[in-house]
Each structure stands twice: as C-alpha cells, then as structure tokens.
Structure 1
Amino acid sequence: MTKPKVLISDKMDPNAAKIFAERGCDVDVITGKTPEELKAIIGQYDGLAIRSATKVTKEILDAAPNLKVIGRAGIGVDNVDIPYASSKGVVVMNTPFGNSITTAEHAIAMIMALARQIPEADRRTQAGEWPKNDFMGIEVTGKTLGLIGAGNIGSIVASRAQGLKMKVIAYDPFLTEDRAIEMGIEKVDLDTLLSRADFVSLHTPLTDQTRNILSRERLENAKPGIRIVNCARGGLIDEVALKDLLLSGQVAGAALDVFEKEPPAPDHPLFGTPGFICTPHLGASTTEAQVNVALQVAEQISDFLVNGGVTNALNMPSLSAEEAPKLKPYMALAEKLGSLVGQLSHGNLEKISIEREGAAASLNGKPITGAVLAGFMRRYSDSVNMVNAPYLARERGLDVREVRHDREGVYHTLVRVTVETSQGPRSVAGTLFGDAAPRLVEIFGIGIEADLAGHMLYIVNEDAPGFIGRIGTLLGQAGINIGTFHLGRRQAGGEAVLLLSVDQPINEELVQQAAKIEGVKMVKALEF
C-alpha cells in the first residue's frame, strides 16, 4: 500500500515531520517556495501542512489533483480558499486550540499596556527622561470589557479579565444565553456593547460580515474614551477612521497586533498617533504555541490520511477515525435528504426535525445533522458546508430538532427529515442498502425507492393511464435522455409521485411544459 505524501511548506517545529513519519506518511519539508514553484510540485502530494506564509489559492488547488487535506498550524485560514477547496473535495483543518491561550494572554497584555501607557513610558524613560507626571493611567478593576466574539480565544480572555475584576459583556451571534450564563458574561447587541464598554477586544474571523465591523460610524457613536484591542484579524477596524478618532479623543487608545495589510507600510497613518501601540502579529508567538500547533496539525493530517478521522475541519463535521467508515454513507444520505426537502419546500421554514431509528440511532448524530443542514441550507446559499450550516440555520431562526428512536421499523436503519410548512409537515426518509448505498424510501408520505443523484425531475400527478408515456414523449422531443424512472402512489387512481433522473439539466421552459400535461399537480427540477 502506497504511503500518503505530505508537504510541509512553511517553517514549523521539526517534530511535526517526525509525527508524520511515525504515523505512516512520507513527508517533505520544502519551505519558502514562490506560488509558481509550489504549483510545480503540489500535484504529487495528498496532504499540505501550512502556516500563514503559504497562500492556497484556486491556482494552487487546480494544480493539486491528488490533494485531500490542508492543515493550518494555527487558527486563521485567510490564506486558504476554503469554498474552492470544498468544491475540489479537499478537507481544510486548523488547530483552533493550540494558540488560544497565547493569543488571549497577548490581548490581556495589550489591555494593560493601554491602561498604563507602558510603551510610551518605556520609550521616554530609556531616552533619558523621567516623565513621571506625564502619565496618568487607569485601573482595569471595575471597568467593562466588551468582547466582539466569544469563541475559543474570546472565552479565555473573558476568564482572565474576570480575574482582573472586570465586568465582561459580549457580542457574538453564535453565543447562546446558556453559554453566556456559564461563562458569567452578559450577551448584548453590538451597539449596546460599544455604548457601554471601556475596553473592546476583538476575537472574530474576518468575513464579509465582519469586515470593518468597527466602522467610522460605529466608533463615532461608541462610548467616549473607549480603548480598543485587536489581536484577531486585520480588516476588522477602519484604520483611517481609528487614527482620526484617536486624534479627536473619542477613542482614548488602540492596541493592534494585526493590520489590514501586513506588514504595514512604513508610513501607515496610525504610526506615531498618540494613544496608539502595536506589535507585529505576535498573538501566537510563544514557544509553547508554536510547538503545540505544529504537533496538532501533524496529528490531524496523518489521522485523516491514514485512518479517515476528521478533527477541527472547517468544511465538514469532525469524526473520529473509528466513526468515519460507518458515518460516511449516512452523511451522504443525510445531505441528499436535506437537499431534497429543501428544494421541494416553499416559504419561510422555521422548524426541521432529523430523526434516526434502527442502526442509525446508535451513531454519532452530529455529523448526520450537520450533513442534513448542509444540504437543506443550500436553498439559501451555495457556500454552505457542514460546519457553517448550523450557524446559518440559527441565524435564520430555524428550530433544529434531533430525535433518536430505539425502535426498529421496516428498515434496519432509517433517517427521516421533516420540515414544518404552511401546508403542514413535509417529510422525506431514506435508508442504506448494504450499509453503503443511500436510497430514498419515502417522500411526503408516499413510498418510493430511488437514488438521488445528478439532474432529476420531480412530478406530482393524478395516477392515470398514459401519463408516463406523455412525460417520456415530452422529454424525448426535448432531447433529454432518461437515466432512471421511480414511481410511487398513495393508492390506485390517487395521488402519485414520479422521480426520474436525466442526463442533462432541465430548464424552466421544459418544467412549464410538463406542468401543462393533463393530471400534473406539481413539477420541480432538482439538482444533487
């Protein structure tokens, strides 16, 4: 059996290469390559281990037909084109916990530096001055810290700040009330946070939604004298506006470890501004963190390539190496069922239920639920994956329910997905044939056995002689070749369902023509 090949393309602890070798991978350490040089060699590798220097672009991914996994030693993945990697079937992982403490501690250090003006006091003292009367700091005790983002790092900052007797409030769309209570913090909206906080610390990724989250307008309406810390990502703050508001005194101080463009230009507008301090992206720069993230990424990549385990993945649910073989066919089934019910349901859907019975009930339900939501939420966005689908569902107010039944019914294993619509519940169900092949077995209460793949046409019609011939004639005249034909009905002469696969996409004009056929109640083109 050929060993998986892994490339380490950025400098990291040498023990990472040892872990790859010990766990059954061939590893090459080749750092400092230009994009063109990396494109020339990446095609031979199954795995890629990176830090922040390597940019994994569309061009790099197109040159990597064998690539199966990318592992980022660290938390930020701005240098990886995740949507395109997903479309190429490449798993993207990071190590979100390896440098969490280090980055959180740096944020706390920045808060203290701002409170006591330490950098400027140090510079002037070492220059031979004794400017004791020029520096009047503030205590952090009793002050309010506002966290923008309360995930891994933000929660550690909250804990450390509470140890300094600060009151902590947080804005995070994904923070639940129960989790906020558990952390001992108050969940608020962004405007409330900025109106109340004495210090603001950012701990959120850079996305289209968070870019310039601290805009000029928001900073102008913030509490006068606010102090801002950013050890997360450049681009979260309007840097030009920040300079103006530091000069006006609206913002009393700002400490940045990250910039929108790194390294920043020597004439960056914030440099030299009173009340501004900065560090050169040192959030993760401790000996412990560098070792931890390197070892973790090596363990995760090798576990995936050798055993099929998925840990800290950003574009699919995590599952252990032991679970992976059993869960993969279920995840394929679940995603198809979610996609089907999403494509066939109309209006604003508020509830979705994922039920597992028989053999499915004994499995880890999270990847199955994640797969259902990934398929279902594509009715709203093409960029949904198994990781962000639950958050997108929560943002839209979707009530997600997971139900596990101990009973075993007609099928030895079954997954059922039900959504609540204005016309009542709509349910689809599927099973695995031979514990491997996903198969639809029920659609909206009608029994039907079908594969869900490629281009399909769904028709609800009155069960009557000659109907199938009319549909076949229509498709034949349009030059559409039928791959498979699946039929189901409630009773003879009643409502029937036709689900057929075709070799080409079905356009809207053909759908309208099919809808005009006598006895047709509904027609829908589907894509899987």
Structure 2
Amino acid sequence: MPKVLISDKMDPQAAQIFRDRGVEVDEITGKTPDELKAMIGEYDGLAIRSSTKVTKEILDAATNLKVIGRAGIGVDNVDIPYASSKGVVVMNTPFGNSITTAEHAIALMFALARQLPEADASTQAGKWEKNRFMGVEVTGKTLGLIGAGNIGSIVASRALGLKMKVVAFDPFLTPERAVEMGVEKATLEELLAKADFITLHTPLTDQTRNILSRENIAKCKKGVRIINCARGGLIDEAALKDALDSGHVAGAALDVFAEEPAKASPLFGTPNFISTPHLGASTNEAQVNVALQVAEQLSDYLMTGGVTNALNMPSLSAEEAPKLKPYMALAEKLGSLIGQLEGEGIQGVSIEVEGHAAELNQKPITAAVLAGLMRVYSDTVNMVNAPYLAKERGLDVREVRHDREGDYQTLVRVTVKGKQGERSVAGSLFGHAQPRLVELYGIKVEADLDDTMLYIVNQDAPGFIGRLGTALGAADVNIGTFHLGRRDQGGEAVLLLSVDGTVDKAVVDDICKLSGVKDVKLLRFA
C-alpha cells in the first residue's frame, strides 16, 4: 500500500480521499526542515501547501518519494528541476482556486473604482467626506487583460457581464479563442494605450518579470487603475509608486508582492493604493477544492499511474493509463534494446507511431522510450527524469505520428542516430497487450523481450546453431526462447535468445570465438 504524508494543514476530507482510494496517509504538520528530512524517507507521496519547502536536502532524503502534490497553483517552494532529476513527479492544482482568484481581482477593481478602503477608514474615523471620494463606473470602461489563461478567461467573462470591453494580451491566445472569449486580441502596447483598468494573470517567468516596467507604465493611458492577483515581480513596484504619486496611475491594488511576506514595500502608505496579503485563493471553497484535488491526483498516480496537472512530465489521465500501459511497456523495452545495442554514442532519437498507437497520447510513449534508452547513462532513470537527462546530454528528440496503415495494427518504431548512422527497431502488441519486437536494424524478427537475452550477429551458414547450442550447454546456460532473422540467404543473420542461467563475460567471449560470429551483446530488460 502506498504511503502519503500531508505536511501542511488541509481540509480533513483530503486524508479521507486517500484512505478511500487505498492509500495510507499520515497528517503531520508544522515540522522543521530537519524533522521533515528525518521522516520523509518512508513516504511515496507528499501533499503540501505553501509552508513546506521541498529543497534539494529534503529530496535527497526522500529515497522512496514518487510524487509531490501542491494544493494550489504556485510551486515556488519546490525545487522542480532537482525533483525531476530524482525522478519525482511534481503536480499542482491550477483550477481549484481559479474562480476565487478571479473574483478577488474583480473585487479589487471595484475597490479601486470606488475608493472603498479609504472611504471606510474615513467614515469609521468619524468623518463624513462624501465629496472627497468621487469614484468611476466600470460599465463601458476597457479592461486590459495581461494573460488570458484559465483565471484570465474567468475575469474576462465577469467583466463582460459588467458591460466592460475587454482587450487581452497573451502570446498563446489564438484569434479563434479570443472570439470565443468575446475579447479583443491586442499587443501589449495596444493594451497599455487603451485600458482604463489593467489586471495581470500570467506566471512569473524571465519573459514576464517586470512586464509593467517603468517604461511600460509610462505607456499606459493616464488615469489607469492596475490590479495584480497573479505573481509578485510582474510590476516594478518602485515605478508604480512614482506613477501613483504623479497621478499618471489613478490607483493600484496588489494582492502579491516581489518579496513576501511584504513588510516594507515602497507602495505602503501611498494614496490610492490597496494591498491584501496574498488572499487570491483564500476562500473556504477554494481551500476545500485544492485539498480534494491534490488528494485525488496523488491517489490516481500512486494507484493507477494517472498523471494530472504535472509540471515535469506529460499528463496521463486515470482513464488513459490502463490503455497506454502496454504501449509504454513496449516503448520502454524498445528504447532499452536500442540503447544497449548502440551504447553511449547516440546523438538523436526519433519515435514513430502508427496504427492504434497513433490514436493515443504520444507524450507518455516518448517518455517511456527515453526511460529505456537513458538507462545506458543512469540506473536510476525513469519516465520523469529521462527527458531531462536526454536534454542534458544534448539528445535531439523527435516525435512522428503516421496516419498510414502498415503490416501491423499498431507499431512503435525507435530510430537513433549514432556512430553507425541511423538504425532502428520496431515493435508491436500481440493480443493488444504483449510487447513484441518485430524488426531489428531492418531485419524482420519476431521476439519477446525477456529479462536476459543474447544478441548475436553471425554469417548465415549451416552448423552455426548447433555450435552455439553446444557452447551454451557447456556453460550450463539454458535457452528459453530462440528467435532468428536474416537479410538474405547466406548473408547476415541475427539471433535473439532468452536464457535462464547466469551469463557472464566468459560465456560471451566464448560465443565471440565461434566461427561466423560478428557481434555478441548481453541484454537485460528486468
């Protein structure tokens, strides 16, 4: 039974979901890094919020860890590159607090439009400054949306319901999607010039850091109001303060800051500035939703292999996982086979699928090929860290999907570019479940890829099989299965033998000495 640790406070329903799915769970919160490090080694999964910091040191101690689930969107507290190198899947729950965050952005927009915090403070201080707080309507105004993903699209729909016009800047927003959302697709400069209100809903990357820089704030329409409920660091806070002081920006509301907890922002105390302490996801409904989602996602992965909202491997739904499992087993064996045959000189790999395989999600198949292939370089490789290891070694990876019909109902072909040029292996599924090799370096050969096998290239000539059997018998090695293929009569032949006994280097050396033998390799698929 897999075992999960919940290390941050979550709704108790999350623990019950784990138990209902057959996963053992411990709820142990508030531990120091050293305490977490001492206990993490016994767990297969880790469910966290923002308090637990999953560092390199924690990951090194997590010898059994397979998956980390963040109940929420941000994963700044997880060392994702190092988790990937350790073969640990990292998931988040990007949709559980989408509505909550979008509503907070809308709430801040209204608070800015009507100066609600200052009016509240003034009134409760015994003043009645009705003429001081002259607001603006949002109806008919233009909302500039920087980031039109999940949360941004919800904000857009709410704004359209308020009879606002919405212009959106997002490099990934297609014209078709813009029409579907009811927004105008714009460049960043066009948005800055048009928007009466600007709200940000984009992740913090090298491309988006300080996207509202001093220069871009200066390009904004005079009197603009700016809201950020996405990530700190998207706005130059010092430049924003200057723009508020000058009146170029009429108001700003930030739920997130470049440094959090924010205790000394240059914006604090600035007129027409509203701040909240990262409350975007802080509703009862959102807290329950993300806790339930992370429990479901981790349970699916540990019990069925389903991968949802992973940040470092392809998604694979719980429904897809059983269908893809035999294809992934085939792909991993093909990758392992050609990796062992070619050694460390591989420069590129192409994964081709056709037939039934072409109708499936190809990303997990590619990851499985790389997992098998990369075992030449590491004995701890898996589907999570294999793509990273391939990238680290400069391996060029290509995916090809064919609509054509071939000799087999389904086919996976792996072609590598190495020291001897391009060479390929191909396999199919027999009975829709049993992985089988059907082609090896252009030679038709049908073979099950068993735990221990011998690959032998020899000159096709009478008497060779007898000599080989005698040599293996003398070494007390029993032949399990025997698969033979050849290019032409009397030409080059290939033998794949599964063997039951121990095969050491001395046995391989003896086979190499047999007349007609060109190459011998011991293969392991366990």
Q: State the TM-score, normalizing by the size of structure 2.
A: 0.70
**Unaligned segments of structure 2, at least 5 residues:** 373-382, 389-397, 416-421, 448-485, 489-526
- Say if 1:176 and 1:427 are closer, same or farther in 2 by CA, change over 3 A: farther
> What are the Cα deviations for residues 60-80 of structure 1, in whole angstroms up to 9, with x where unaligned?
111111110111111111211
| Structure 2 residue matching 1:74: 3-state secondary structure | coil
User: Which residue matches 1:208?
Assistant: 206
Looking at structure 2, the residues matched to 168 and 400 of structure 1 have their Cα atoms a distance apart, in angstroms, of 38
Question: Secondary structure, in 3 states, of the residue corresponding to 1:146?
Answer: strand
Cα distance in 2 between the residues matched to 1:372 and 1:213: 39
Aligned partners of 1:112 and 1:245: how far apart in 2?
A: 20
Structure 1 residue 142 corresponds to structure 2 residue 140? yes
Matched, 1:318 2:315: yes
* Deviation of 1:122 (Å): 0.7
State whether structure 2 residue 231 is matched by structure 1 residue 233.
yes
Over 3 Å counting, the alpha-carbon distance change for 1:290 and 1:447 in structure 2 is same
- Among 285, 304, 313, the alignment partner of 2:282 is 285
1:276 aligns with 273
Task: Name the aligned partner's letter for residue 272 of structure 1.
Answer: G
CA distance in 1, matches of 2:429, 2:57: 39
Aligned to 1:253, which of 251, 254, 268? 251
Distance 1:440 1:153, change over 3 A: farther
Q: Aligned partners of 2:157 and 2:132: how far apart in 1?
A: 32
Q: What does residue range 128-207 of structure 1 map to in structure 2 within 5 Å?
A: 128-207=126-205
- Tell me the residue number matched to 2:17: 19
8 Å CA contact retained: 1:355, 1:404: no
Go from structure 1 to structure 2 and tell me whether the alpha carbon gap of 1:65 and 1:184 turns closer, same or farther (over 3 Å shift): same
Amino acid at match of 2:410: T
| CA offsets 1:74-133 (integer angstroms, 9 cap, x no match) | 111121111211111111111111111111000000111111111111110111111111
Q: CA deviation at 1:303?
A: 1.3
Change (3 A) 1:291 1:344: closer
Over 3 Å counting, the alpha-carbon distance change for 1:249 and 1:431 in structure 2 is farther
**Where do 4+ consecutive residues of structure 1 move more than 6 Å?**
334-337, 369-375, 426-429, 436-440, 446-450
Shift of residue 429, structure 1, vs aligned partner? 7.6
433 and 99 in structure 1: CA distance in 2 versus 1, 3 angstrom threshold: same
For 1:497, the equivalent position in structure 2 comes to none
Q: Which amino acid aligns with 2:312?
A: N
Cα 1:373–1:67 shift into 2, 3 Å:
closer
Q: Which amino acid aligns with 2:193?
A: S
Give the stretch that moved more between structures: 153-162 or 76-85. Answer: 76-85
Q: Measure the CA separation in 1 of the matches of 2:12 and 2:103.
A: 25
2:78 corresponding residue in structure 1:
80
Cα distance in 2 for residues equivalent to 1:438 and 1:175? 43
Deviations along 1:19-56, one digit per CA (max 9) or x if unpaired, are 11111111111111122221111111100001111111
Distance (Å, rounded) in 2 between the aligned partners of 1:128 and 1:440: 86
Structure 2 vs 1, CA of residues 138 and 331 (structure 1 numbering), >3 Å: closer, same or farther?
A: farther
Change (3 A) 1:448 1:34: farther
Within 1, Cα distance between the matches of 2:159 and 2:194?
16
Aligned 8 A contact 2:112 2:251 in 1: yes
Q: How far did residue 366 of structure 1 move?
A: 6.1
Percent identity between the aligned chains? 71
- Number of equivalenced pairs: 418
* Distance in 2 separating the partners of 1:372 and 1:118: 58
Which residue is equivalent to 1:500?
Answer: none
1:329 and 1:432 in contact (8 A); partners too: no
2 CA distance for matches of 1:302 and 1:112?
Answer: 40
1:48 aligns with 2:46: yes
CA contact (8 A) 1:369 1:402 kept: no
In structure 2, C-alpha distance between the alignment counterparts of 1:239 and 1:230, rounded to whole Å: 11
The alignment's C-alpha RMSD in Å is 3.9
Q: Tell me, what secondary structure is at the counterpart of 1:40?
A: helix
Q: Which residue of 1 aligns with 2:32?
A: 34
Would you say the 8 A contact 2:106–2:155 is kept in 1?
Answer: yes
> How many angstroms apart in 1 are the aligned matches of 2:371 and 2:203?
21
Give the Cα–Cα distance (whole angstroms) in 2 for the partners of residues 271 and 235 of structure 1.
16
Provide the secondary structure at the position in 2 that maps to 1:213: coil
| Cα offset, 1:343, TM superposition | 4.8
Q: Is the 8 A contact 1:416 1:427 kept in 2?
A: no
Q: TM-score, normalised by structure 1?
A: 0.70
In 2, the alpha carbon distance for the partners of 1:447 and 1:211 equals: 54
Question: How many angstroms apart in 2 are the aligned matches of 1:121 and 1:42?
Answer: 50
- Give the counterpart of 2:291 among 294, 299, 306: 294
**Consecutive unaligned residues in structure 1, runs of 5 or more:** 346-351, 376-383, 390-398, 419-425, 451-488, 492-528
Over 3 Å counting, the alpha-carbon distance change for 1:216 and 1:5 in structure 2 is same
1:365 Cα shift?
A: 4.7
CA distance, structure 2, for counterparts of residue 148 and residue 374 of structure 1: 38
Name the residue aligned to 1:349: none
Which residue number corresponds to residue 120 of structure 1?
118
Q: CA deviation at 1:403?
A: 4.8
Name the amino acid aligned to 1:104.
A
Task: Give 1:444-523 correspondences, 5 Å limit.
Answer: none
Matched residue of 2:204: which SS? coil
